[in-house]
Structure 1
Amino acid sequence: MDRIILHIPVISETLHRIGAPVSALVRTGGMLYTCGMPPIDHRTGEIVRGDIRAQTRAALDSLEFALTFGGSSLARAVKVTVYIVDNALTGEMNSVYRDYFPDGFPARTCLEVAAWPAFDIEIECVAPVI
């Protein structure tokens, strides 16, 4: 089984800039696996500041960008994992999350984690290549 590491411009550069030794996207066995995407604006490479809604939007936009780059989409996601600094923010996160999956939700795990210094959420997913 071939494993292909797809280097995504901007997102991977940004992740390396903030010190993360990761690949943003790996394709193997007809599936795409993303790293946890922080709320990075994929157009500028900058971390999106703001409330959990703005950060969720930015993280999901980055995921959509990464999956499209790899030959899939959020609409095809089968598993999503959300890492959030406070479970009390889950309702607000869900209000944005619903907009990105209007035709049905993938399986999802939501975990409360220790706070990061610059953002409150990170989202990863698994999706088949189209």
Structure 2
Amino acid sequence: MRHVIEVPVISAAIRRLGAPTSAIVQTGDLLFTCGMPPIDGVTGEIVTGPIEAQTRASLNALKITLEHAGSSLAHVVKATIYVTDPKLMGDVNAVYREFFGDEWPARTSAAIRPWTLPFDIEIECVATVR
């Protein structure tokens, strides 16, 4: 049985992007997030600019979403990062380390074709409930 958890700002922002998805869904003790674009957790607006700012916004959006569902980044067991250019991964990794320190979840990174929207990164994760 799955349970959709509404995260007001993030969910509304994702819906404005036209995505028919929930920000986070729980099944059993696992939480699955959608691919989180660089959304400002306060305004719900897309963050553009350098990849560091976009990465920080995506990870902050994940943090807010997970905390709203009763979890945290410390409980992430798997992350997937999608970027429009693999050359961006060095800068992405620098910000990623700020959020995860030295205890990293399993991770997959993939280069994809650019979106029609003005951002270069999307991050999704699977986490456990506290």
TM bucket (normalised to shorter chain) is over 0.9
C-alpha distance in structure 1 between counterparts of 2:122 and 2:113, whole Å: 12
Shift of 1:102: 1.3
- Name segments (4+ residues, structure 1) moved above 4 Å: none
Other-structure match for 2:125:
125
1:88 alignment partner in structure 2 = 87
Look up the match of 2:52: 53
Q: Which residue of 1 aligns with 2:42?
A: 43
Partner of 2:8: 9
TM-score by length of 2: 0.97
Could you give the per-residue CA deviations for residues 53-103 of structure 1, whole angstroms, max 9, x where no partner exists?
000000000000000001110111000000000000000000000010114
The RMSD of aligned alpha carbons is 0.7
Aligned counterpart, 2:32: 33
**What CA distance in whole angstroms lies between the structure 2 residues aligned with 1:19 and 1:39?**
15
State the TM-score, normalized to the length of structure 1.
0.97
> What is the letter of the counterpart of residue 41 of structure 1?
D
State percent identity of aligned pairs.
Answer: 55
